[in-house]
Structure 1
Amino acid sequence: MDRRSFFHRVKKEKGIEWNYAADLDTVSSGLDAYKGKLSNDQLMHLLKRVTFGASPNDIDHFKGKKLKKIIHELLYTEEKEPAPPVNNYNDPDSKKEEENYFFDEEIPAGQTWINSTTFNGKNSGRRRNSLKNWWIGLMLNQQSTLREKMVVFWHNHFATQATIVDNARYLYQHNVMLRRHALGNFKAMVKDVTIDPAMLKYLNGAVSTKKAPDENYGRELQELFTIGKGPESRYTENDVKAAARVLTGYRFENKTYTTVFDANRHDESDKQFSAFYNNTVIQGKKGAPGAEETDDLLNMIFAQQEVSRFICRKLYRFFVYHSIDAITEKNVIEPLAAIFRKNDYEIKPVLEALLSSKHFFDPANFNAVIKSPLDFTIGLCREYKISFPDAGNFIDQYGLWEQVRNQATAMQQNIGDPPNVAGWQPYYQEPQYDKLWISSDSLPRRNQYSDRMINNGFAKNETKVVIDTIAFTKTLPTPADPDKLISDAIRRLYNMDLAVTEKTFIKSSILLSGLTGMQSDHYWTDIWNAYLAKPDDKKNTDQVTKRLKSLYKYLMNRPEYQLC
């Protein structure tokens, strides 16, 4: 079976069940560069993987350009630092008499709270929500680069939970740190993550002392963040304990919101590591130089080739496909890992090689991944060019961003709060991987979300976000021709085609419903052209809108729309 057919193997009588043992297409191509301009299907494939949905603006922007130029722009475009999150969370005056009424006396409405020094039980939860909603807004309004997708990748890789870290200012600083390093140097990022206040709190690094070294971060640093659990990952339990001792002494300062190294809490003794690390001994240091042991630890870890393999496998599974067989390991992972090491763990050269490769553009990899909830919810908004309020209406803006976030959360991806330190299971759990995004609970929620965006949308005060079916249809090449309209809509939303019999069914049951005979084809052409000539004709416009809503609702409820 091909890689996209798995979605049709659901045994509906028993709920969502997958055939994990099914043999899928083997892709034998490697990292040889794909040359020349991309077809529309290839461009759509690239954009659906590296951004949230293939937006019409991005399609138009990159159309006709050579792949090398496209990849360079996606990776190397200079981006402005986004404006920080703001206070959108004051309760309205109408709630003043309520027991839980909240008004932030320190931060004026519409101003940022990121420099506030007052965090307490009343404002912290609201600021965390403000941060999460702001993050959704950045995804919805992402520039034509990989950065937003990579921020989510690293958030899943270096997972922290907002509910545990709690303090919104530390969470914001953590997000900015991931954003800064997202396309930079992996080793530098690991160093900053190691001493990041949010991570120090999340994995107990701030309470790790020479008298009681905490092993949480020392373990996850190796198991989840750098070495992994692959066949060549042979670090030992004693290596975890030794790493924990190296990392003692760090804590965060709540007055300055920075990390400090307290030499009095640091284990100054020598740390012995196993044969996996060539029996390295990290010499204990006294005083402020004790912090230098962290660099010694990272240098020792990054000397292991398994670091490069582990990260390249994770990038491959995120951007290409979950299954890595022996051929892919040899033809893709090993060469990528060599590029990673050769470039001193710079991320861009690895992504440039992977996303420019014949392997990435092998047709077997098209539409072979189930969309994550973020890809589904945000991608829908971007593909239909749904407009959200601007910063001048920050109350409604943040409120509508929150409604999108809540939908993704209901589909099992709560941004900022992955389920545990390993991140979301669909990115790592064998053998299911991305199939875990689909269940008897989550699939109906996806359909309900797309149905609602077609019908009534979401509202905040007087502002509404909803799919404008007529505006979307106008962006298609030949909307007056029912056959071409259906084919073009399928290509835009699926990046694949359907059988002629299926398209004929769609035409007769939706665009031409209630009519008989092929002579009725002109009916759609007539009412569409009549709409263009006289859009204020309510009766005709209602007919056009009704049929378009039914068309797009049907297309988004099909299995193909769950794939990217």
Structure 2
Amino acid sequence: MTRRDIFRSFLPKNESPEWRDVSFPDIESGLETYKKPWDESAVRHLLRRTQFGAPVAEVEYFKKYSAKKAVEELLNTVPVNAAPPINNYNDDKVTDEQVPLGQTWVNATNNSGMLTARRIRSYKSWWMMQMITQNRSIHEKMVLFWHNHFATQTATVRHPQFIYQHNLLLRKYALGNFKEMTKAITIDPAMLRYLNGASNTKKAPDENYGRELQELFTIGKGPGSHYTEGDVKAAARVLTGYKIRPLMQDTAFDPQRHDDGDKQFSAFYGNAIIKGRSGKDGENELDDLLNMIFDQQEVAKFICRKLYVFFVYSNITPAIEKNIISPLADVFRKHNYEIKPVLEKLLASKHFFDMANRGTIIKSPVEFIVSLCREYNVSFPSEQNYLSRYDAFEFMLLRSAYMQQNIGDPPNVAGWQAYYESPAFYKLWVNSDTLPKRNQFSDRMVLFGYKTKQQSDFVGIDLIAFAKSLPSPENPDMLIQGSVQYLLGADLPTDQQQFIKTSILLSNLQDMADHYWTNIWTSYAQNPTDENKTIVETKLKQLYKYLMELPEYQLC
């Protein structure tokens, strides 16, 4: 759905084709604080963009705040300190001699081929668990954002402990200081392995990380990015000397591997020279390099553009570049690259809440799956029942991978194309392969859910419980209206809602008024026998299967 589609939905149907094809101007709302109307629509928009989905209870909770206060709480709520991933993988083929079942493997020193693959799978299931069970915070959404930005691949790193440590690093800096985060990422074992930083020595300089540091992580490829191939080579020389210590599970600087000569940079960097340092002091050249890079205004603009595309909309017009991106970049630089002030300014703005920016992003596969689980309040096996619990989250993980978003393994160092590839952006998530898989997943969760392999625990949607959470579920109009508001990224016309009511809840019985559904619901509420429950559930399954197969369910 484009902005033009949004505007067209407000136009009278009898307007002439010429009027309906008019080109609408850029939206003019800016970064001034949004105040009203602070209604359910605005709350749902905020939650869908900053968390995963907008559960009914969360909407009710944030309605009591203003937009500014809601954003402040989302940014300042400390995430739950989650227990690390565990051994859920022992079976008749593999036994982890060092880590008992149910205990964490993150400090283990043995990593065989079979154990590595299973620990990585355990890690990914653990990460899916964090997203689905998140508290009221933007934190999990930001971890996913930074994972796409500082992309690594478990298939390349192939070291579970390093991969887990990398995720903890993203969590630590998710709302912290971007410059400090970049330094930590640069010497992170997973990144050193992924982009060959540990192989970068004075005798054999490797330009891989020096290139991506500028092209993908800090400067970008925007209109103000004019670093040169010489700058890539010079940066690679600065970054020589770091090595991985697998047994210690960390990195170290080796002066013998470091190029201690002077490094000349181009006019883009003011012809700066980073003076070569010898011995242990050579490690400080990294600070010199980052200081030089972060002195460039394009760094702030590049990151602000990425945040805008992720949280607001994909099309950055010249007007938005001038009125939104540049002022946000000024805030970023003024606060020494602290991430939180930028998000606070953007997410509490009139521009963010503008009607033209609502329901215009196609959910990523992760968003599609996690939002469904959270909005329907899907129950998962308890922590004590950890085998079934991990199995259930792995099921969600694999469904996302089938839809072309395998967390931990983006397609390349640039991340997923839907976050950066113009002009399609989010449309890339939906194609002839992935759309049927989305519908199959939502159908399965509605119709029969998933039974875990170990104890056959049921993981699915309790449709009656969800309907009860809505206002007046005995009223077919209220049930449909509430379901549409809470589940769909765009409203449905009145005639379409009427069609849903007649064809599904009223079974196309022409002589039946609304009381047909009301009687069904009331009969169950007063006498919840298996027979009455089956009748109600059958209707609800038809209703929610239909709603989640609509294009509007793909939007947030």
> Which stretches in structure 2 are left out of the alignment for 5+ residues?
9-20
Which secondary structure does the structure 2 equivalent of 1:122 belong to? helix
Q: Which residue of 2 aligns with 1:147?
A: 139
Against the structure 1 CA distance between its residues 83 and 37, is the aligned structure 2 distance closer, same or farther, given a 3 Å change threshold? farther
How far residue 495 of structure 1 moved from its aligned partner, in angstroms, is 4.8
C-alpha distance in structure 1 between counterparts of 2:87 and 2:23, whole Å: 52
How far residue 55 of structure 1 moved from its aligned partner, in angstroms, is 1.7
Tell me the alpha carbon deviations over residues 78-135 of structure 1, each in whole angstroms, 9 at most, x when there is no partner: 23421100001111xxxx3xxxx10111101110001001111120000000000000
Q: Which runs of 4+ in 1 moved over 3 A?
A: 21-25
Q: Contact (CA 8 Å) 1:162, 1:171: kept in 2 or not?
A: yes
Report the residue type matching 2:340 in the other structure. K
Q: 1:534 aligns with which of 516, 527, 531?
A: 527
Asked if residue 476 in structure 1 is aligned to residue 460 in structure 2, the reply is no
Q: 1:121 aligns with which of 113, 118, 134?
A: 113
C-alpha distance in structure 1 between counterparts of 2:22 and 2:220, whole Å: 26
Which secondary structure does the structure 2 equivalent of 1:334 belong to? helix
Tell me the alpha carbon deviations over residues 231-266 of structure 1, each in whole angstroms, 9 at most, x when there is no partner: 110000000000000000001101101110000000
Which secondary structure does the structure 1 equivalent of 2:252 belong to? strand
Identity of aligned residues (%): 55
Tell me the alpha carbon deviations over residues 344-371 of structure 1, each in whole angstroms, 9 at most, x when there is no partner: 0000000000000000000000100000
Asked if residue 281 in structure 1 is aligned to residue 273 in structure 2, the reply is yes
Q: Which residue of 1 aligns with 2:98?
A: 106
Report the residue type matching 1:298 in the other structure. L
Q: 1:525 aligns with which of 507, 518, 540?
A: 518
Report the residue type matching 1:314 in the other structure. K
Q: Contact (CA 8 Å) 1:482, 1:525: kept in 2 or not?
A: yes
Q: Which residue of 1 aligns with 2:456?
A: 462
Q: Which residue of 2 aligns with 1:502?
A: 496
C-alpha distance in structure 2 between counterparts of 1:416 and 1:53, whole Å: 21
Mapping 1:140-289, distance limit 5 Å: 140-289=132-281
How far residue 462 of structure 1 moved from its aligned partner, in angstroms, is 1.8
Say which is worse superposed, 492-501 or 302-311, in terms of deviation: 492-501
C-alpha distance in structure 2 between counterparts of 1:233 and 1:22, whole Å: 35
RMSD: 1.7
C-alpha distance in structure 2 between counterparts of 1:496 and 1:228, whole Å: 33
Q: Which residue of 2 aligns with 1:364?
A: 356
Against the structure 1 CA distance between its residues 4 and 55, is the aligned structure 2 distance closer, same or farther, given a 3 Å change threshold? farther
How far residue 497 of structure 1 moved from its aligned partner, in angstroms, is 2.4
Q: How many residues align?
A: 543
Which secondary structure does the structure 2 equivalent of 1:152 belong to? helix
Against the structure 1 CA distance between its residues 37 and 114, is the aligned structure 2 distance closer, same or farther, given a 3 Å change threshold? farther
Q: 1:416 aligns with which of 398, 404, 408?
A: 408
Q: Contact (CA 8 Å) 2:79, 2:139: kept in 1 or not?
A: no
Tell me the alpha carbon deviations over residues 366-406 of structure 1, each in whole angstroms, 9 at most, x when there is no partner: 10000000110010000000011121011000000000011
Q: Which residue of 2 aligns with 1:555?
A: 547
Q: Which residue of 2 aligns with 1:38?
A: 38
Q: Which residue of 2 aligns with 1:5?
A: 5
Name the TM-score, length of structure 2 as normaliser: 0.95
Report the residue type matching 2:243 in the other structure. R
Which secondary structure does the structure 2 equivalent of 1:112 belong to? coil
How far residue 23 of structure 1 moved from its aligned partner, in angstroms, is 5.9
C-alpha distance in structure 1 between counterparts of 2:501 and 2:4, whole Å: 24
Say which is worse superposed, 460-469 or 287-296, in terms of deviation: 460-469
Q: Contact (CA 8 Å) 1:37, 1:67: kept in 2 or not?
A: no
C-alpha distance in structure 2 between counterparts of 1:413 and 1:496, whole Å: 24
Report the residue type matching 2:75 in the other structure. L
Against the structure 1 CA distance between its residues 149 and 442, is the aligned structure 2 distance closer, same or farther, given a 3 Å change threshold? same
Asked if residue 50 in structure 1 is aligned to residue 55 in structure 2, the reply is no
Against the structure 1 CA distance between its residues 500 and 373, is the aligned structure 2 distance closer, same or farther, given a 3 Å change threshold? same
Q: Contact (CA 8 Å) 1:206, 1:252: kept in 2 or not?
A: yes
Q: Contact (CA 8 Å) 2:56, 2:486: kept in 1 or not?
A: no
Against the structure 1 CA distance between its residues 444 and 429, is the aligned structure 2 distance closer, same or farther, given a 3 Å change threshold? same
Against the structure 1 CA distance between its residues 521 and 42, is the aligned structure 2 distance closer, same or farther, given a 3 Å change threshold? same
Which secondary structure does the structure 2 equivalent of 1:504 belong to? helix
Q: Which residue of 2 aligns with 1:17?
A: none
Q: Contact (CA 8 Å) 1:87, 1:130: kept in 2 or not?
A: yes
Which secondary structure does the structure 1 equivalent of 2:351 belong to? coil
C-alpha distance in structure 2 between counterparts of 1:48 and 1:78, whole Å: 19
How far residue 63 of structure 1 moved from its aligned partner, in angstroms, is 1.8
Mapping 1:56-67, distance limit 5 Å: 56-67=56-67
Which secondary structure does the structure 2 equivalent of 1:370 belong to? coil
C-alpha distance in structure 2 between counterparts of 1:352 and 1:459, whole Å: 41
Which secondary structure does the structure 2 equivalent of 1:252 belong to? strand
Report the residue type matching 1:473 in the other structure. A
Q: Contact (CA 8 Å) 2:80, 2:134: kept in 1 or not?
A: no
Which secondary structure does the structure 2 equivalent of 1:360 belong to? helix
C-alpha distance in structure 2 between counterparts of 1:225 and 1:150, whole Å: 15
Asked if residue 87 in structure 1 is aligned to residue 87 in structure 2, the reply is yes
Q: Contact (CA 8 Å) 2:55, 2:486: kept in 1 or not?
A: no
Q: Which residue of 2 aligns with 1:11?
A: none
Name the TM-score, length of structure 1 as normaliser: 0.94
Q: Contact (CA 8 Å) 1:44, 1:495: kept in 2 or not?
A: no
Say which is worse superposed, 23-32 or 151-160, in terms of deviation: 23-32
Q: Contact (CA 8 Å) 1:38, 1:64: kept in 2 or not?
A: no
How far residue 4 of structure 1 moved from its aligned partner, in angstroms, is 7.4
Say which is worse superposed, 254-263 or 67-76, in terms of deviation: 67-76
Report the residue type matching 2:502 in the other structure. S
How far residue 472 of structure 1 moved from its aligned partner, in angstroms, is 0.4
